């Protein structure tokens, strides 16, 4: 059955990989990011492969923009019953150097954004009697030096997810979270630049601590999202899956 999926932060990286994977699974996909133009490559990759996708521009922390974006998805692709809350930013710093603005920005995009988009979409899931919500957490939820804001946001995502599972389960809606470990993306490249380490060296150092002996890729996370969004995953809800190449961060 073809369903409509909405993936936030899908212009690149993990979000783009999830959008492509859900399209290959047969979903029509709304590729949402801050600027619709930045979504063009992801949309083209999906449509070139024979799938259906549209680009949607919205700031997930802006309630009015989110409502307009969801209305666009409904009008152009149909009511979304699959949602992946992936949008996120980093503003890393040690606590004593972290500004209030950097704290607020990270919490706003991750937590406020997930709340606003989920609130806007859940009514369509309830009406359909079926829905899948996947929210991106991180191994940083367990604590990570220099990421007090990001760690707090990603831990919050887990509590948010478990509460959604309790509230929405009776309507046929599941909610689960994925907590990636070290994944090679623009975000991890930015972290390497911030601490002044060549990216190849940064990856090599991280890999030495990963039991499976390699860094993760966006496709690793997309595979987990694909599972949670399946019909067969209907008895899995309120869970946090650590996709980190081993049992701990």
Q: Which residues are catalytic?
A: 150
SS3 state at 133:
strand
The torsion angles phi and psi of 10, rounded to 5 degrees, stand at -105, 15
* CA separation for the pair 86, 8 (Å, rounded): 5
* Of the candidates 45, 135, 21, the residue with the CA atom closest to the CA atom of residue 86: 135
Relative to beta strand 173-180, strand 240-243 is parallel
* CA separation for the pair 224, 18 (Å, rounded): 9
Please report the DSSP string for 40-54 in residue order: HHHHHHHHHTT--EE
* CA separation for the pair 98, 190 (Å, rounded): 17
């Amino acid at each position: 059955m073809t369903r409509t999926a909405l993936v936030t932060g899908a212009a690149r990286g993990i979000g783009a990989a999830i959008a492509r994977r859900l399209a290959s699974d047969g979903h029509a996909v709304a590729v949402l990011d801050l600027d619709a133009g930045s979504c063009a490559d992801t949309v083209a990759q999906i449509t070139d492969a024979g799938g259906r996708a549209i680009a949607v521009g919205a700031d997930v922390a802006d309630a009015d923009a989110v409502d307009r974006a969801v209305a666009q998805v409904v009008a152009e692709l149909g009511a979304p019953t699959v949602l992946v809350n992936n949008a996120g930013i980093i503003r890393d710093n040690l606590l004593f150097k972290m500004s209030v603005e950097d704290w607020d920005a990270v919490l706003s995009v991750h937590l406020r954004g997930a709340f606003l988009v989920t609130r806007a979409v859940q009514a369509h899931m309830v009406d359909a009697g079926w829905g899948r919500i996947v929210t991106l957490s991180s191994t940083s939820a367990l604590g990570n030096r220099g990421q007090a804001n990001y760690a707090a946001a990603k831990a919050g995502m887990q509590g948010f997810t478990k509460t959604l599972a309790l509230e929405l389960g009776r309507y046929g809606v599941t909610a689960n979270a994925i907590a990636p470990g070290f994944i090679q993306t623009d975000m991890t490249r930015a972290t390497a630049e911030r601490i002044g380490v060549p990216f190849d060296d940064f990856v090599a150092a991280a890999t030495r601590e990963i039991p499976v002996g390699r860094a993760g890729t966006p496709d690793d996370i997309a595979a987990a999202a694909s599972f949670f969004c399946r019909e067969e995953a209907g008895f899995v809800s309120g869970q946090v899956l650590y996709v980190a190449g081993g049992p701990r961060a």
